[in-house]
A and B are shown apart, each in its own frame.
Chain A
């Protein structure tokens, strides 16, 4: 179920004195099974962009085409679009409202008119996907810990069983353990065939997980390519207040000091292998 974005532009409060163009002239295509990282400084238009992908915002100009159909053309049900493209907002725990965890996760499937048995199945499946204990289903979401409610909220979107999952800063505010757990869940969702778009400020996470990275800067899509290529352009990223992963920076600094190492390293493991290889090549004692 590919998504195509053509010349997408959005201007808030068009026609007033406080008119702001949040994104302009954006073109890209998302294919099935991709894992995309969307990065950019605060205010670069990331939130505006993703809200177009499931029809929460209407483009001022341009088109969003899902499965070959413009989602704003006549006769298209936005509800059906939102069923295919799930969007998890930042701090999603702020949207829970039902008395029990079960009801909250069931909100989506019920809105979409699924039967009771189908809803129950979906809720249970969503729980498994985010590693949520089934004993919690009868509890009030307001009694749970921060990390748990976050997972309830994500399960609320997964229960819709979308084909594409968009997450806006899913790990914001969590401790390292909570972060690792959520990222692990996302990784598994992708491995099971879901298309994932991850909006994140954490370059280490994006570098480790995403195959393709898109960079937004002041409303324009300024880079779109394999993670390795994008992250190896340090100066370009820094000019947009973004920082490549630390190990990438490290390798680049080593290269400047005459090391023959790759500059497109993304993880600690890769950096380790590169450095050891180079030391060995130079016959430095100690490098086994």
Chain B
């Protein structure tokens, strides 16, 4: 049951505007959004991207609770980043702990980056929460298809993603079971120094790999028995089609992007150059 807190690949099945969008549109929007998040270099840009993200979450009918829970794993990284910026950015000191000097630009910079990370995580988890893994891979395969002429294995990538998603929960459960089985034999996964701990993982990792290879073998055979022979000549039950709302959503994304570009040109970076 260690799969509890992991949000990636966890589809949240409700009916909503965002859920009903074509996966290709959603993937495109996510890519544009991520890029534009890094184009924005001041708090005005965050007002725009933040509003856009809040709008998307509202339209997706996914409870904020679920999204905030998804942020938990990055709390450490985020606090670390803030602290690093707070103390390492030169500038006017607001307070001091020993030799460490906290600066105002550092604080602003730290908050800025943390905010960017939060919006990024929320928006990308929104993609996986509102798009079933199947739709996601279908969309990806379709987006990549034009590139298969230049050697991008679009079908294979999609197939690998599908299989990975299918087996993540199975393997997590298995890891949990093997770990307990070794603990029943007196194995200790929790104490000791780094080296001892790494070594104690051998009894977990070897069986897990052996099992994963066996599964791969059996799955390959089962797929072959079901006439699988690659992407060639293969049809799909699910057909993707763009509808009016996909165009609305894409249009809105472009408007949002234009606004962010405008804030960048008009207001410049959050900490004007030369002030530090």
Q: Is B207 a contact partner of A156 (Cβ separation < 8 A)?
A: no
Which segment of A89-97, A130-138, A222-230 sits at the interface?
A: A89-97
Q: Is B180 a contact partner of A89 (Cβ separation < 8 A)?
A: yes
Instruction: Decide yes or no whether B181 CB sits under 8 A from chain A.
Output: yes
Instruction: Decide yes or no whether B188 CB sits under 8 A from chain A.
Output: yes
Q: Is A16 a contact partner of B4 (Cβ separation < 8 A)?
A: yes
Q: Is B203 a contact partner of A97 (Cβ separation < 8 A)?
A: yes
Q: Is the interface of B mostly helix, strand, loop or mixed?
A: helix
Residues 155-202 of B contacting A (Cβ, < 8 Å):
174, 177-178, 180-188, 202
Known contacts A12-B1, A13-B4, A94-B211: A89-B181 contact under CB 8 Å: yes
Instruction: Decide yes or no whether A148 CB sits under 8 A from chain B.
Output: no
Known contacts A96-B207, A97-B203: A79-B186 contact under CB 8 Å: yes
Q: Is B185 a contact partner of A111 (Cβ separation < 8 A)?
A: yes
Known contacts A12-B1, A16-B4: A112-B186 contact under CB 8 Å: yes
Q: Is B177 a contact partner of A107 (Cβ separation < 8 A)?
A: no
Q: Is B183 a contact partner of A56 (Cβ separation < 8 A)?
A: yes
Which one of A54, A88, A94 lies within 8 Å of B207 (CB-CB)? A94
List A contacts of B202 (CB < 8 A): 97
A95 to B205, CA, bound (A): 10
Q: How far is the CB of A129 from chain B (nearest CB, A)?
A: 16
Q: Is B183 a contact partner of A82 (Cβ separation < 8 A)?
A: yes
Known contacts A95-B207, A97-B206: A51-B180 contact under CB 8 Å: yes
A160 to B187, CA, bound (A): 12
Which one of A18, A88, A96, A111 lies within 8 Å of B186 (CB-CB)? A111
What band does the interface of chain A fall in when counting residues whose beta carbon is under 8 Å from B? 20 to 34
Instruction: Decide yes or no whether A83 CB sits under 8 A from chain B.
Output: yes
List A contacts of B207 (CB < 8 A): 94-97
Q: How far is the CB of A50 from chain B (nearest CB, A)?
A: 10
Instruction: Decide yes or no whether A108 CB sits under 8 A from chain B.
Output: yes
Q: Is A107 a contact partner of B203 (Cβ separation < 8 A)?
A: yes
Most buried by B among A12, A92, A97, A157: A97
List B contacts of A86 (CB < 8 A): 184
List A contacts of B203 (CB < 8 A): 95, 97, 107
Interface flags for B203-216 (1: CB within 8 Å of A; 0: not) read 10011001100000
A29 to B181, CA, bound (A): 24
A16 to B181, CA, bound (A): 26
Which one of B177, B178, B184, B188 lies within 8 Å of A157 (CB-CB)? B184
Q: Provide 5 A-B residue pairs closer than 8 Å at the C-beta atoms, listed in order of the A residue.
A: A87-B184, A95-B178, A95-B182, A97-B202, A107-B186
In order of increasing CB-CB distance, the 7 nearest A-B pairs are: A111-B186, A97-B206, A108-B185, A95-B181, A87-B184, A89-B181, A112-B186
